[in-house]
């Protein structure tokens, strides 16, 4: 599936997708959308960042359009349950964005805010309701909402809902729903209790999965360079001039960051261009063609913009910022060393927060990456952004302490290191993949895409608060 047009979605939906700059369906979208459009129940194993919201929202919007009628008071046609207020808000935003030309009605029912407005919003009925389970039950119990008209049920992040103790609320809600409905059930993991819940709630479900990446490709030399935050741009310019760079793809976490990097490279006399969500499709195509032809050797991109870039001969991937989701690192560096070529991935690391991200990455790939320390001795990095308030991975202390020694990350299997080269780490063997779920493309890390809500570096799923 190469484009959203191929699914047969309503034109008003594909138009909205073009406006959102979605060009290629992600693997979870490619698998889920046709099944959901055919009316099947679906169990999806997918994490946040894989594009799963559109995977369920698009077919539901399309099917909503097939039969439109005036809503009965205090009812909804689509019920989406999500564990947190934050995620619920994002899901509603997505429905509204993809449905912007459809005139669908939608609202949010989340805890922690007075109920009055939500009661009023439901008075005339809404087509789409996104809710946290506790508040939804409160609304039902106070007769502000009836669930007998629900045609589509989505459970998003089911495993997290169970972790948060919502199981009884969910059972109570499901008991009030019509038996004849379509249910789409998404979870990042599928332990026994979640599988059981799914089997009770779904009717003959189709299963789809995208497996998280956990291995780094062969033939990629990985270098970690510790720098002062203020010197990142200078180091990047030096690397690009000193190394034998055929084509370099430089990643930043934000769109703004990408533009800043381009400007600093231009000041150093290096021709570079950026692609990210704020650039037009025309710009993207022009820049990609120039990158492909070698006219531009350095492309700066955010993770989302870099999706779908299929350019061979990328000799270097540079992480100007480390991603806060470790799988993204694996995905990024997989842009080099394609088609049997060798490649180098260089990460510029400054400050405690990025050091924490690095440790997460090492844990994922089960390799301790040697650090090259290029920091100014005694330089206190005043420009480094302060570590965020919460840990970037739940349940573990966050702070990293400056120049830590290289330790093998904890993990069940440790990989032997092959010869270090120039302080770099070369991987010669492919780690066995965790690919028990089937689906997705288990071979090669290009098959799995993790997306991030751009410019929202704090968007880790564990940052949300408990609703109610």
What gap in Å lies between CA 228 and CA 235, rounded to an integer? Answer: 10
306 binds ligand AMP (CB under 6 A): no
7 binds ligand AMP (CB under 6 A): no
82 binds ligand AMP (CB under 6 A): no
Q: Write out the binding residues for ligand AMP, residues 85-104 only, by CB under 6 A.
A: none
Of residues 360, 451, 464, 467, which one binds ligand AMP by CB under 6 A? 451
- Minimum gap (Å) between residue 305 Cβ and ligand AMP: 9
Which one, of 448, 354, 337, lies nearest residue 401 by Cα?
354
Of residues 207, 453, 463, 468, which one binds ligand AMP by CB under 6 A? 453
Which one, of 360, 359, 361, 355, lies nearest residue 331 by Cα?
361
User: 14 near 5, Cβ under 8 Å?
Assistant: yes
Structure tokens belonging to residue 355? 């050091």
Burial of 427 (0-12, 13-18, 19+ CB in 10 A): buried
Stretch that binds ligand AMP, among 24-32, 312-320, 397-405, 420-428 (CB under 6 A): 24-32
Q: Write out the binding residues for ligand AMP, residues 103-122 only, by CB under 6 A.
A: none
User: 367 near 415, Cβ under 8 Å?
Assistant: yes
Per-residue contact flags (x/-) with ligand AMP for residues 40 to 79, judged by CB under 6 A? --------xxxxxxx-------------------------
Of residues 22, 185, 251, 320, which one binds ligand AMP by CB under 6 A? 22
What gap in Å lies between CA 17 and CA 255, rounded to an integer? Answer: 19
Torsion of the alpha carbons at 444, 450, 455 and 460, rounded to the nearest 10: -130
Residues in Cβ contact with 432 at an 8 Å cutoff, skipping those fewer than 6 apart: 215
Stretch that binds ligand AMP, among 17-25, 118-126, 399-407, 410-418 (CB under 6 A): 17-25
Closer to ligand AMP by CB, 170 or 304: give it. 304
Closer to ligand AMP by CB, 410 or 456: give it. 456
- Minimum gap (Å) between residue 161 Cβ and ligand AMP: 16
Closer to ligand AMP by CB, 60 or 348: give it. 60
Q: Write out the binding residues for ligand AMP, residues 407-446 only, by CB under 6 A.
A: none
- Minimum gap (Å) between residue 92 Cβ and ligand AMP: 13
Q: Write out the binding residues for ligand AMP, residues 285-304 only, by CB under 6 A.
A: 304
Structure tokens belonging to residue 427? 């991987």
187 binds ligand AMP (CB under 6 A): no
Burial of 428 (0-12, 13-18, 19+ CB in 10 A): exposed
Closer to ligand AMP by CB, 54 or 194: give it. 54
How many residues in the shown chain lie near ligand AMP by CB under 6 A? 15
Cα–Cα–Cα angle for 229, 373, 426, rounded to 5 degrees: 115
- Minimum gap (Å) between residue 150 Cβ and ligand AMP: 22
Closer to ligand AMP by CB, 24 or 430: give it. 24
Q: Describe the crossing of helices 133-141 and 167-175 by its angle, rounded to 10 degrees.
A: 40
26 binds ligand AMP (CB under 6 A): yes
What gap in Å lies between CA 267 and CA 261, rounded to an integer? Answer: 10
Structure tokens belonging to residue 266? 């231009």
Closer to ligand AMP by CB, 18 or 434: give it. 18
Quickly tell me which residue has 């919201």 as its tokens: 53
Closer to ligand AMP by CB, 203 or 441: give it. 441
Backbone angles phi and psi of 130, in degrees to 5: -110, 130
Backbone angles phi and psi of 182, in degrees to 5: -105, 135
C-alpha separations of 270 from 236, 239, 265, 297, 316 in Å: 10, 11, 5, 9, 15
What gap in Å lies between CA 447 and CA 27, rounded to an integer? Answer: 7
Closer to ligand AMP by CB, 94 or 273: give it. 94
- Minimum gap (Å) between residue 145 Cβ and ligand AMP: 26
- Minimum gap (Å) between residue 6 Cβ and ligand AMP: 13
- Minimum gap (Å) between residue 46 Cβ and ligand AMP: 7
Quickly count: other Cβ atoms within 10 Å of residue 337's Cβ. Answer: 22
Per CB under 6 A, residues contacting ligand AMP are 22, 24-26, 29, 48-54, 304, 451, 453
């Amino acid at each position: 599936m190469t484009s959203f047009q191929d699914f047969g979605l309503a034109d008003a939906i594909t138009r909205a997708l073009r406006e959102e700059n979605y060009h290629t369906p992600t693997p979870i979208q490619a698998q889920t959308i046709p099944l959901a459009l055919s009316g099947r129940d679906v169990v999806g194993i997918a994490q946040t960042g894989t594009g799963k919201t559109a995977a369920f929202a698009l077919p539901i919007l399309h099917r909503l359009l097939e039969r439109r009628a005036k809503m009965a008071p205090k009812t909804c046609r689509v019920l989406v349950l999500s564990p947190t207020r934050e995620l619920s808000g994002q899901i509603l935003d997505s429905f509204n964005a993809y449905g912007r030309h459809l005139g669908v009605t939608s609202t949010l029912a989340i805890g922690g805010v007075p109920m009055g407005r939500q009661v009023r919003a439901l008075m005339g009925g809404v087509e789409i309701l996104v809710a946290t389970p506790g508040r939804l039950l409160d609304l039902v119990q106070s007769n502000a909402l009836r669930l007998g008209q629900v045609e589509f049920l989505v459970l998003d992040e089911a495993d997290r809902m169970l972790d948060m103790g919502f199981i009884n609320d969910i059972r109570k809600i499901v008991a009030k729903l019509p038996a004849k409905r379509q249910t789409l059930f998404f979870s990042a993991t599928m332990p026994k209790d979640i599988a059981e819940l799914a089997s009770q709630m779904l009717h003959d479900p189709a299963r789809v999965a995208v497996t998280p990446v956990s291995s780094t490709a062969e033939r990629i030399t990985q270098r970690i360079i510790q720098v002062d935050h203020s010197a990142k741009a200078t180091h990047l310019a030096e690397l690009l001039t000193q190394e034998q760079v055929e084509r370099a793809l430089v990643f930043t976490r934000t769109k703004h960051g990408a533009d800043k990097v381009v400007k600093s490279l231009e000041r150093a006399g290096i021709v570079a261009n950026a692609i990210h969500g704020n650039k037009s499709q025309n710009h993207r195509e022009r820049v990609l063609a120039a990158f492909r032809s070698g006219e531009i050797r350095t492309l700066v991109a955010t993770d989302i913009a870099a999706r779908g870039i299929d350019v061979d001969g990328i000799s270097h991937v540079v992480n100007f910022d480390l991603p806060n989701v470790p799988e993204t690192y694996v995905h990024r560096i997989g842009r080099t060393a394609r088609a049997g070529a060798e490649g180098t991935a260089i990460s510029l690391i400054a400050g405690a927060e990025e050091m924490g991200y690095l440790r997460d990455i090492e844990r994922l790939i089960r390799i301790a990456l040697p650090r090259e320390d290029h920091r100014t001795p005694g330089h206190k990095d005043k420009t480094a952004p302060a570590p965020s308030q919460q840990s970037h991975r739940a349940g573990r202390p966050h702070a990293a302490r400056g120049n830590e020694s290289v330790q093998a990350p904890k993990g069940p299997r440790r990989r032997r290191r092959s010869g270090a080269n120039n302080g770099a780490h070369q991987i010669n063997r492919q780690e066995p993949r965790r690919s028990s779920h089937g689906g997705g493309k288990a071979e090669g890390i290009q098959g799995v895409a993790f997306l991030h809500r751009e410019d929202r570096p704090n968007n880790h799923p564990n940052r949300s608060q408990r609703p109610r």
